[in-house]
Amino acid sequence: MTGHFTPGDTVKASVERSLFEGIRREQERDAPPEGFPALPVIPGGRYTDPAFLELETRHLWKRSWLYALHTDELPKPGSFRLWKKTGSPIIIIRGKDQRVRAFYNTCRHRGAPLVEAEKGETKGFFCRYHGWTYDLDGRLVAVREKRDFPGMDTSCLGLAEVRCEQLGNWVFVNEDPDAEPLCDSLAPVPGHWEHLEFERHRHIASASYEIACNVKILLDAFLETYHLKSIHPQTVDRFLDSRGTHVVLWPRGHSLMVTPHRRAEWRDPGAAGMPEIDSAEEIFARQNPSYNLYPNLVTPPSSTGTPFITFWPRTPRSMTVDVHWFAPEGAEGHELWPTRMSNFERILEEDTQFAPRIQQSVETAGFKGMYLSYQERRIYHWHEELDRRIGADRVPSSLRIQPLMEPFLERT
């Protein structure tokens, strides 16, 4: 966005103002801004081709910072979750020192799993195969019949750690040991959320839905508002003006869209009356901003509580969407939460109803690729980043994305 700094202004205020200006420009324009290219078709094989999907798994899902859980889900030292979203079984555990760590669920002896339950509490890890024992920090502390391992140095045989870092109480995991630090990788988004007091939010609920489509088919629907009139005529379209959706593209694939309410005084009936965070900027209280933290976290933060929607591949043609809800401290037990969450579930069902049939259709010879409008440019941006992460030269030329978005990236 173009900053409009005046003396005494905070960066925050200028960013917020430029979002409102962006909405106004969108509502008034007759065509895309001059100089913005017509977007090339996204090759359909990127949704179906097994070799491409293999590249995506290896270079994207196994090498990205991915939201895993909120620290409330690990209430005590020894609380753990078995997390398998990237295909690798990973234990996420709170240590005695309260630090949250992640380890591959893989015994250093001959690879047996250490935990089998999806979640629980433990004092350490005991391998059921030959009895090697590890403490909560992953150190190997006991080996049965150690006399038969001459020269064994147990200090080198701890559980293999997986990168695990926090943004406030949100825990992210990355299987790439050389990944840049989480907070650097999410910039500038955390700066936008400074006044939302997320460190004082509690996790109140999570739900999972399985859908028979490639993960990108559903994720795409959460990157644009072009579909509101036809898919959500009785819900979202009644209160959001999709013609005013303002889009911000950032480096590393992150992006934002802010959609104005049709009427300034409209409030989400599921949230009206819920306590609001006073410090939150107007944009989070009175409009509908929705962020994509690349690759798979979509969130519309608001001053009354926030969902995280995460999208996960299961197989090339099936996926899971998870919804996690966070409430400002003190509002966890508010009576409106069940209504608010079921309203959201209804909207989600409107999005998911179609996805398996879209998948079937994109598998046919009749599908020549995704023909995107200016309004759908976040999808192009998403794919452009995917090629950057895979390494464009690894992508078969027929499936490659032409990099075009660089001149349109914002930094704040």
Binding site for ligand FES (CB under 6 A): 107, 109-112, 127, 129-132
Cβ atoms < 10 Å from Cβ of 57? 15
Interface with Fe ion by CB under 5 A: which range of 62-70, 163-171, 320-328, 349-357?
349-357
Give the DSSP per-residue string, 100-124. Answer: EEEEES--TTT---S--SSEEE-SS
Choose from Fe ion, ligand FES, none: what does 204 bind? Cβ within 5-8 Å by kind: none
Binding residues for Fe ion, rule CB under 5 A, total 2
Q: Which is closer to Fe ion, CB of 221 or CB of 256?
A: 221
Strands (E), 261-335: 288-293, 297-299, 306-315, 318-328
Choose from ligand FES, Fe ion, none: what does 351 bind? Cβ within 5-8 Å by kind: Fe ion
Choose from ligand FES, Fe ion, none: what does 127 bind? Cβ within 5-8 Å by kind: ligand FES
Identify the residue among 351, 376, 384, 385 touching Fe ion (CB under 5 A): 351
Q: Which is closer to ligand FES, CB of 6 or CB of 155?
A: 155
Q: What is the dihedral of CA 216, 221, 222, 227, to 10 degrees?
A: 170
Residues 6+ apart with CB under 8 A from 285: 276, 302, 303, 304
Q: Which is closer to ligand FES, CB of 109 or CB of 267?
A: 109
Q: Distances in Å between the alpha carbon of 198 and those of 279, 328, 349? A: 11, 7, 27
Write down the least CB distance from residue 316 to Fe ion, Å: 23
Choose from ligand FES, Fe ion, none: what does 177 bind? Cβ within 5-8 Å by kind: none
Write down the least CB distance from residue 104 to ligand FES, Å: 13
Q: Which is closer to ligand FES, CB of 99 or CB of 110?
A: 110
Q: Which is closer to ligand FES, CB of 99 or CB of 144?
A: 144
Cis peptide before 188 (omega within 30 of 0): yes
How many residues in total does the chain contain? 412
Write down the least CB distance from residue 235 to Fe ion, Å: 9
Q: What is the DSSP letter of 283?
A: H
Q: How far is CA 348 from the centre of its chain?
A: 16
Residues that bind Fe ion (CB under 5 A): 221, 351
